[in-house]
């Protein structure tokens, strides 16, 4: 396994352990706590990816097309309710709406879990790309 891949996996594991192992306050709902943790981190991680790509789109399109495609995927406009926002923002908003619904009606746990996992997957990818792009390996 390449060193860069090992580093990314180790980084993702550390982030997951750090976020996932916090002690909950008595009476705190772990689904809501986890959703809030991911919302907080995802918003800034997605913003970082989009800003990195925007700083030099043509360079990334040519030299790191997978990174550029991910940034374009995050900035793609999607509808949320009556508004249209970038996909990264929409994912955070949809999780927030599901979290609010879950607080009122605990039967919505499957939706909250599903959206939390989707956002976590996108967040992991954003964090990995940020590490790769911010610390290019020299040959």
Q: What is the pLDDT along the chain (139 residues), one digit of tens a residue?
A: 445 444 444 444 445 544 555 566 677 889 999 999 999 999 999 999 999 999 999 999 999 999 999 999 999 999 988 999 999 999 999 999 999 999 998 877 899 999 999 999 999 999 999 998 887 665 4
The residues facing 119 across adjacent strands are none
> Are the C-beta atoms of 86 and 76 separated by less than 8 Å?
yes
Sign of the alpha-carbon dihedral angle for 25, 27, 30, 35: negative
pTM, to two decimals = 0.77
Distant-in-sequence, close-in-space partners of 83: CB < 8 Å, separation ≥ 6: none
CA dist 80 and 98 (Å) reads 12
For 56, list phi and psi in degrees, rounded to 5.
Answer: -160, 70
Collapsing DSSP to helix, strand or coil, 27 comes out as: coil
């Amino acid at each position: 396994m390449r060193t860069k891949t090992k580093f990314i996996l180790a980084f993702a594991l550390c982030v997951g352990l750090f976020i996932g192992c916090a002690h909950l306050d008595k009476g705190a709902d772990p689904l809501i706590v986890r959703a809030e943790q991911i919302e907080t981190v995802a918003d800034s991680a997605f913003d970082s990816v989009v800003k990195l790509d925007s700083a030099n789109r043509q360079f990334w399109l040519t030299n790191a097309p997978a990174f550029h495609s991910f940034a374009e995927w995050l900035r793609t406009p999607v509808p949320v309710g009556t508004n249209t926002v970038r996909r990264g923002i929409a994912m955070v908003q949809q999780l927030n709406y599901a979290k609010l619904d879950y607080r009122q009606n605990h039967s919505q746990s499957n939706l909250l879990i599903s959206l939390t996992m989707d956002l976590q997957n996108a967040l992991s990818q954003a964090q990995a790309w940020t590490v790769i792009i911010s610390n290019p390996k020299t040959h």
